[in-house]
Amino acid sequence: MSKKVVLIGAQWGDEGKGKVVDLYTEFADIVVRYSGGSNAGHTLVVNGEKMITHLVPSGIRKPGMKCIMGDDMALDPDVFKEETGALRVRNIDVSPKRLFISSEAHIVLSVCKLLDGLREGASGNRIGTTKRGIGPTYELRAARVGIRVGDLHDPRNFDGLVRGVYEKIAPEIDRLRRDAMPKCSELVEELSRAREIFLPYVANTSKMVERACKSGDNILFEGAQGTLLDLTHGTYPFVTSSSTIAGGACSGAGIGPTMIDEAVGVAKCGYMTRVGGGPFPTKIKGELAEQIRKTGGEFGATTGRPRDVGWMDLVALEYAARVNSLTGLALTKLDVLRGIPVIPVCVAYKYKNWVVKDFDDLDAHDLELVVPVYEEFLGFTEDLNRVCRRSDLPDNVKRLLGRVEEIAEVVLLSTGPKAEETIVFRNPFAEVSDARTF
Ligand code: GDP
């Protein structure tokens, strides 16, 4: 029987999804990346060499695996070209026989990137975007003038499509920097280039997913960024422009919710990170934060920005478990906290005179004002890499996992960046209990 599993970030992104996707990929026949664009990045290791993919699903590493870039994605043709080129150099097959793009995905135009950069450069409220043009692309989509990959079929329509974009975007660009707006003819040329890049890959991906389900294939739906950055359910307005939650897999893959079997959330264990603007109740500063940032390599995969670091927030995690209906949690990077004597875990917030336990009882501005209530867990000094079974974990780690499991079942614990540094408690694709590797 086919298993359909959605994997999402349960925090603010950068939870280490890339590694878990890689592990689950071994059991999947198809991977579907369903939302976002090149504002997200997965770190993967190919032949011992680290590389970052922003658009192409990391499942591309597995020979023969089909990879789909879904309906709700925002695709930058230059990034796609560069990424497929870099993968080809590493002898990875990126041919249209195994890589498919939905005709409903939107194209990130250069003017969207220009506008993103001008906005972030202007004074005022900063969301802290990656300046990859993703926000403006989704704005054009909502305004019904966005250009979709499927629009590239007929160049006779390019003039009309470009005019729609121009009318929407030119006034703001002109206001931010006079004469920066390119001519319509340049945008038409850009579409012709995008046509050459994307068209070979265009497919009816919704139909492909349905067919795959019926023929018993296992499917992994890969979310980008994290739950707390979701356009609707994140810490609005400090959010991304797309759906990052498990439910987004339905819209972004062109299927219904009854199709999905499991939703697994990835979260760092014991600490968490955030980049960009917005509230971060458990954020810490100083030497300990610096130590965790360094040990955990907490610098943005897309921008290289240092990530803010804080303790694990179970108020936020419980919320993530709810809005994603998580059936499991994959916990990563616990090894980073080795040697830290006490690990505080946030279990509630104090806000004015109240104790708050539901993340969504407060908005982003209230969250700036809360004081976290911590439960303290003793740390560990043991090398977790030597541990093969859950039962062999240090007692202090077991106590921490037990507390997290009040929220959702822990299905995997990652104790290092390598595949073999993983303890699998339960594999959502195939029942494997307490085995060190798949
Ligand atoms: P993603 O976007 O969620 O995949 O997150 P990142 O691209 O930021 O990846 C996280 C980084 O942490 C990568 O360099 C991984 O190799 C690394 N990583 C993943 N799991 C672990 C772990 O359990 N321990 C350590 N130390 N590093 C890990």
**Chain segment 385-400, per-residue pLDDT in tens:** 889 899 999 999 999 9
Instruction: In the chain, list all ranges with CATH 3.90.170.10.
Output: 268-424
Q: How many helices (H) and strands (E) does the chain have?
A: 12, 19
Average pLDDT over residues 244-268: 96
Q: How far is the CA of 39 from the centre of ligand 1 (A)?
A: 17
Residues making up the chain, counted from first to last: 438
Q: Is the pLDDT of residue 44 over 80?
A: no
Q: Among 49, 307, 333, 418, which is best to mutate for testing ligand 1, by the most ligand atoms less than 8 A from CB?
A: 333
Q: Which of 42, 54, 106, 233 is catalytic?
A: 42
CA 275 to chain CA centroid, nearest Å:
13
Asked if the bond preceding 341 is cis, omega within 30° of 0, the reply is no
pLDDT for res 268: 98
Q: Among 43, 244, 305, 437, which is best to mutate for testing ligand 1, by the most ligand atoms less than 8 A from CB?
A: 43
Question: What is the topology classification, in CATH, of domain 4-105+201-262?
Answer: Adenylosuccinate Synthetase; Chain A, domain 1 (3.40.440)
CA–CA gap between residue 419 and residue 23 (Å, rounded): 7
pLDDT for res 302: 65
Instruction: In the chain, list all ranges with CATH 1.10.300.10.
Output: 107-198
The verdict on the CB of residue 414 being under 6 Å from ligand 1 is yes
Question: What is the topology classification, in CATH, of domain 107-198?
Answer: Adenylosuccinate Synthetase, subunit A; domain 2 (1.10.300)
The CA-based diameter of the chain, rounded to the nearest angstrom, is 67
Query: What's the angle, vertex CA 378, arms to CA 367 and CA 269, rounded to 5?
Result: 50
Q: Which amino acid is at 366?
A: D
Annotated catalytic, 42? yes
Q: Which has the closest alpha carbon to 364: 240, 274, 235?
A: 235
CA–CA gap between residue 25 and residue 27 (Å, rounded): 5
**Chain segment 333-382, per-residue pLDDT in tens:** 999 999 999 999 999 999 999 999 999 999 999 999 999 999 999 999 99
Average pLDDT over residues 9-19: 93
Residue with tokens 């999947």: 28
The verdict on the CB of residue 16 being under 6 Å from ligand 1 is yes
Average pLDDT, the chain: 93
Q: How far is the CA of 304 from the centre of ligand 1 (A)?
A: 14
- Within a 13 Å sphere around the CA of 426, how many CA atoms are in the beta-carbon half? 10
Higher model confidence: residue 300 or residue 383?
Answer: 383
Average pLDDT over residues 167-188: 94
Annotated catalytic, 14? yes
Q: Is the pLDDT of residue 438 over 50?
A: no
CA–CA gap between residue 288 and residue 143 (Å, rounded): 46
**Chain segment 99-157, per-residue pLDDT in tens:** 999 999 999 999 999 999 999 877 665 566 668 999 999 999 999 999 999 999 999 99
Q: Which amino acid is at 277?
A: G
The domain 268-424 belongs to what CATH superfamily? Adenylosuccinate Synthetase, subunit A, domain 3 (3.90.170.10)
